[in-house]
Structure 1
């Protein structure tokens, strides 16, 4: 699927020389760019989400109620807002590689400090600062990927990179549980904050901002990518006259913000409380047992995420690839409140995890189809900044409702309502998103540069 480029052989008649067929050009970007970026963000996601494994085992060290734990999980996202747009603009106008490097070092140090706090207020502050520095990484990497992968490959590239989200939980939840059984929660946070400082060195030497700057890519592949991405840009209408403000005022961008907020509220409300629910299902099992079982839903999510992105790229059906999994998530969350027994509830947790992770690749392919490169950075930063406020609302809401009702079931039922709103917004607001489907040979169908984008079927 990702081993070679897709365009047919062409001949440069003006130069009088044959251009090597991209079909036989090794697509090294899939091997160099995606894995390095995925490991980098897997470490970021670990430092963000390890608190979900740690909180049930803090045993009153900081005297946290369930609402306080929800606040500790969610306050990260208040800090997450601030650098979204500045980092996106820096990545576009200066360097995505350098922007991510600086943020990687800063968040690694912040993660280490999270394990050294002595009070509840300090813990909140440390989580806020961690979110502040991690906030700019997501849009900066999306800008980087847009310089390396044409539109017809974008959902798969996004999903393979974003596969680090469930993969981080698959690998690190058991590790965090094992570490908790053999050391205190402080050591877990400190030791897991160190790897980003090491990986920053790998990032600096392995990643380039664009193909023309990479030492490991062939000139044929670099030229092909430059031509293909330029052709993609030529098919897009000038959004709002090409201004940042005009771009973010587009109705489709506003809908994307709403979709992302309601989806992410359900997403993080589920993800950050999942270990606590599994601990309850195991009747307060050991941290290692809970960590291993927590990895199971995320393994299912990883498979669903990649499969859904491949289907989206193959068919061009972006909005369906976002909406249908969320519908499944709504049903699974509601059924989870009605069924009893550890095994049925565990199966529904797996289905829910797959449903809330699956839309990632197709969703983040949509802004690049709507907007030109010169304005998409700000739009993606704004979508991620405002949408991720749901990452504060979801965990805190579940924690508060758990304290108020004595069970997490109520909170999860409310999260289903948030996902349902996201489905409504996707269905009513995103249907006209264009996405060039691939034919059987893997090529994107040719479209005149001045042709209007057609509504998806």
Structure 2
């Protein structure tokens, strides 16, 4: 076992959670992320189809996130009160069909609409899975659990950017969208039979093991401060929740602004190389991001320093984005692209462990849905800003400088808006106490 799976955990805490729950959820969301981000590989090779300017291409990426807002809170509530397993299943089938049908569009407006619908159905998956993981992993393991699941984000790009590039060399962009929309329909069957909402409902662990996990999670809940009357309004009116929304918005603006335009930058570095070559090179920054993302989550769980695990990588990302616009040469720019990718992915595990430390389970679903919904509007702002500024100035330098400024605001909000938690989370003897420090 690696450090990702606690070696000193008691026998009653089954290690199967780490090799069973996480991979099934990770493959599911890897397919979602593929259907969301394959457009970034496709856009440089549409060769005038649909007559898209750079600003239009930014809107293609951005309209997804307008639709993404609507089901965040409803899906979170359904996952909490009804079933995360069933909620994700329904959304998986719907987004798979929407992704496949997006390959049939004939006009720019239809492409925008298709991306909106895809975002609409995919939007509820993220908070629903976070609710699922909160029922399987105590707080002392939460950042690692989140990061291992969220590792599907860079891993999807590592695996699928080369695949999408290869498919583009052998078929049109429409076939890429259609064919990549089908796997979620197949994985929905695996999801239905493999996933359980809570340990007590799983067939692959004993009753004693399930009771141990649920007692550990109940102890975490009892140690949290009360959320007023326990209403959703009380949760979302708390200052840390509002700060987390701001942090996520400014971070995600930089994150998706970088992600959408990364293949275009690499295509420029290769002097208009083939789509297969660009896809393979695009996988390199995401490979680095995958390793750094998991390492940062492990460090965060060991030390409990959530704020540092979010802020420090973003500072590195700011520096790498700015330096990348100032240096010449393919190799130095590629190194800086790798640094930027690692920096914008690294905060995921620690960041999404913070709401569970601040709020009780009965209200954290809505809080996480709200953070994800409003924060992901940055996914509209970032790609569009880079595209519009590139059209306006004739260079991507200004666009990436603006992305760096957005990341700087996120860092400031973490540093000055989030204070260390006064309610440390219980940890096994010999480990550091954990709070939002």
Q: TM-score, normalised by structure 1?
A: 0.93
1:380 aligns with 2:368: yes
CA separation in 1, counterparts of 2:331 and 2:429?
A: 41
Q: For residue 400 of structure 1, what is the aligned residue in structure 2?
A: 388
Q: How does 1:16-415 map to 2 (within 5 A)?
A: 22-23=10-11, 25-415=13-403
CA separation in 1, counterparts of 2:354 and 2:171?
A: 44
Q: For residue 430 of structure 1, what is the aligned residue in structure 2?
A: 418
1:342-374: CA deviation from partner (whole Å, max 9, x where unpaired): 110000000000000000000000000000000
Q: Which runs of 5+ in 2 are unaligned?
A: none
CA separation in 1, counterparts of 2:305 and 2:14?
A: 28
Q: For residue 18 of structure 1, what is the aligned residue in structure 2?
A: none
Deviation at 1:239, TM superposition (A): 1.1
Deviation at 1:23, TM superposition (A): 4.0
Q: Provide closer, same or farther for how the CA distance between residues 25 and 144 of structure 1 changes in structure 2, counting only shifts above 3 A.
A: closer
3-state SS, counterpart of residue 225 of structure 2: coil
Please say if residues 220 and 426 of structure 2, whose CA atoms lie closer than 8 Å, have aligned partners that are also in contact.
no
Which has the larger displacement, 267-276 or 238-247? 238-247
3-state SS, counterpart of residue 391 of structure 1: helix
CA separation in 1, counterparts of 2:197 and 2:32?
A: 20
1:238-277: CA deviation from partner (whole Å, max 9, x where unpaired): 1132100010000000000000000000000000100000
Please say if residues 12 and 212 of structure 2, whose CA atoms lie closer than 8 Å, have aligned partners that are also in contact.
no
CA separation in 2, counterparts of 1:417 and 1:165?
A: 24
Aligned residues: CA RMSD: 1.5
Deviation at 1:438, TM superposition (A): 5.2
CA separation in 2, counterparts of 1:138 and 1:24?
A: 29
1:207-238: CA deviation from partner (whole Å, max 9, x where unpaired): 00000000011222211101100000001111
3-state SS, counterpart of residue 325 of structure 1: helix
CA separation in 2, counterparts of 1:217 and 1:419?
A: 43
Deviation at 1:6, TM superposition (A): 4.8
Deviation at 1:436, TM superposition (A): 3.6
CA separation in 2, counterparts of 1:306 and 1:248?
A: 29
Q: For residue 448 of structure 1, what is the aligned residue in structure 2?
A: none
Q: For residue 450 of structure 1, what is the aligned residue in structure 2?
A: none
1:147-187: CA deviation from partner (whole Å, max 9, x where unpaired): 00000000000000000000000000000000000000000
CA separation in 1, counterparts of 2:167 and 2:353?
A: 37
CA separation in 1, counterparts of 2:63 and 2:404?
A: 22
Q: Provide closer, same or farther for how the CA distance between residues 389 and 25 of structure 1 changes in structure 2, counting only shifts above 3 A.
A: closer
Please say if residues 37 and 141 of structure 1, whose CA atoms lie closer than 8 Å, have aligned partners that are also in contact.
yes
CA separation in 2, counterparts of 1:424 and 1:369?
A: 21
Please say if residues 13 and 212 of structure 2, whose CA atoms lie closer than 8 Å, have aligned partners that are also in contact.
no
**Higher alpha-carbon Rg:** 1
Aligned length: 434
Q: Which runs of 5+ in 1 are unaligned?
A: 8-21, 446-452
Please say if residues 179 and 188 of structure 1, whose CA atoms lie closer than 8 Å, have aligned partners that are also in contact.
yes
CA separation in 2, counterparts of 1:440 and 1:63?
A: 62
Please say if residues 4 and 24 of structure 1, whose CA atoms lie closer than 8 Å, have aligned partners that are also in contact.
no
3-state SS, counterpart of residue 239 of structure 1: coil
Deviation at 1:454, TM superposition (A): 6.9
Q: Provide closer, same or farther for how the CA distance between residues 455 and 79 of structure 1 changes in structure 2, counting only shifts above 3 A.
A: closer
CA separation in 1, counterparts of 2:426 and 2:217?
A: 16
Deviation at 1:4, TM superposition (A): 5.1
Please say if residues 4 and 298 of structure 2, whose CA atoms lie closer than 8 Å, have aligned partners that are also in contact.
no
CA separation in 1, counterparts of 2:428 and 2:19?
A: 24
CA separation in 2, counterparts of 1:194 and 1:296?
A: 26
Q: Provide closer, same or farther for how the CA distance between residues 140 and 454 of structure 1 changes in structure 2, counting only shifts above 3 A.
A: closer
